[in-house]
């Protein structure tokens, strides 16, 4: 039982997923929310790697997917931060609850 199995990894990734969700739903700071999304993506990454290693080791689908997720996450973060900076210029704040001018 000393060996770390698939279940352990899945538990970790699931926890990470929900932590990410929780963070996204509760943190007011936009950057922190973005980081929470990264957590979600990382939990996905863990999933892919774990599945690849434990269940389907003969192909590298999962690993490749992970590589792409990491890359895209970076791109996404770049654009998101750019947008947030632009938003900050208007609102002088990056509290997500301040940006609620459009509603109903």
Partner 1 sequence: MGIEFFILMKSEWALMLIIFILLIIKVNGTYQDNAKLLLFTNILLALNFMLGFVSNQSGMLFNSMFHTNSLIAFEKNILNFATLIISLQAYTWLKNHKHMLEYYMLLLTTLLGMFFMISSGNFLMFYLGLELSAIPLAALVNFDLDKLKSSEAAMKMVLLSAFASGIMLFGISMIYGTTGSLNFAELPALITGSHLQILTLIFIFTGFAFKLSVVPFHLWTADVYEGAPVSITAYLSVVSKAAIVFVLISTLSPLFAGLTTVWYNILFISIILTIIVGNLFAIRQQNIKRFLAFSSIAQVGFILLAISAGTALSNTAAIFFLIVYTLSNLGVFGVIALVSDETGKENIDDYKGFYKTNPALGWVIALSLFSLAGIPPTAGFFGKMFLITAGASKGSYILVGIAALNMVVSLYYYLKIVKTVFIDPNEEPIVPIKTNMYLKLSLGVCMIGIVITGFTSGLYDYIYLLFRL
Partner 2 sequence: MIDSTYILLIPLLPFLSFLLIGLLGRTYFPKQCSIIGTLSLFASFVISLVVAYQYFFQIGQVNGIYQKITAFKMVWLQFSPNISIDMGILLDPISVMMLLVVTFISFMIHVYSMGYMHGDPRISVFYSFLSLFTFSMLGLVISTNIFQIYIFWELVGISSFLLIGYYYEKPSAVAASKKAFIVTRFADLGFLVGILILSFQSETLDFQTLIERLTTDTEYLNSATTASFFGFSALTWGLTLVFAGGAGKSAMLPFHIWLPDAMEGPTPVSALIHAATMVVAGVYLVARLFPVFSISAPEALNIVAYVGAFSSLFAAIIACTQTDIKRVLAYSTMSQIGFMMFALGVSGYGGEEGLGYTASMFHLFTHAMFKALLFLCAGAVIHYVHSNEMNDMGGLRKLMPVTHITFLIACLAITGIPPFSGFFSKEEILLAAYHSNKLIFAMGILTAALTAFYMFRLYFTIFWSKPFKSHQAETAHHGEAPGTMLLPLIILAFFAAITGLIRFGKYVSSDGAALISELHVDFSIAPVLIALLGIGIAYYLYKKENDTPQKLATGLSGFYKAAYGKFYIDELYLFITKGIVFNLVGRPIAWFDKNIVDGGINLSASTVGYISETIKKFQSGKVQDYAIYFFAATIGFVLLFIYLWS
Contact residues for partner 2, defined by CB under 8 A: 21, 24-26, 33, 96-97, 99-104
The least CB distance from residue 83 to partner 2, in Å, is 12
At 91, list the tokens. Answer: 């609102």
Identify whether the C-beta of residue 17 lies closer than 8 Å to the C-beta of residue 45. no
The DSSP result for 53-80, as a single string, is HHT-TT--HHHHHHHHHHHHHHHHHHHH
- The residue length of the chain stands at 104
Q: Which residues bind partner 1 (CB under 8 A)?
A: 17, 20, 24, 30, 33-34, 37, 40-41, 43-44, 47-48, 50-52, 55-56, 59, 61-62, 64-65, 68-69, 72, 75-76, 79-80, 82-84, 86-87, 89-91, 96, 99, 101-104
């Amino acid at each position: 039982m000393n060996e770390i199995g698939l279940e352990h990894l899945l538990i970790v990734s699931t926890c990470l997923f929900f932590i990410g969700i929780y963070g996204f739903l509760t943190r007011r700071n936009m950057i922190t929310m973005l980081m929470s999304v990264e957590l979600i993506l990382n939990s996905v990454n863990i999933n892919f790697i774990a599945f690849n290693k434990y269940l389907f080791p003969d192909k590298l689908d999962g690993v490749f997917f992970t590589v792409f997720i990491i890359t895209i996450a970076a791109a996404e973060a770049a654009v998101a931060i750019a947008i947030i900076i632009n938003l900050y210029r208007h609102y002088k704040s990056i509290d997500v609850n301040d940006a609620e001018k459009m509603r109903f």
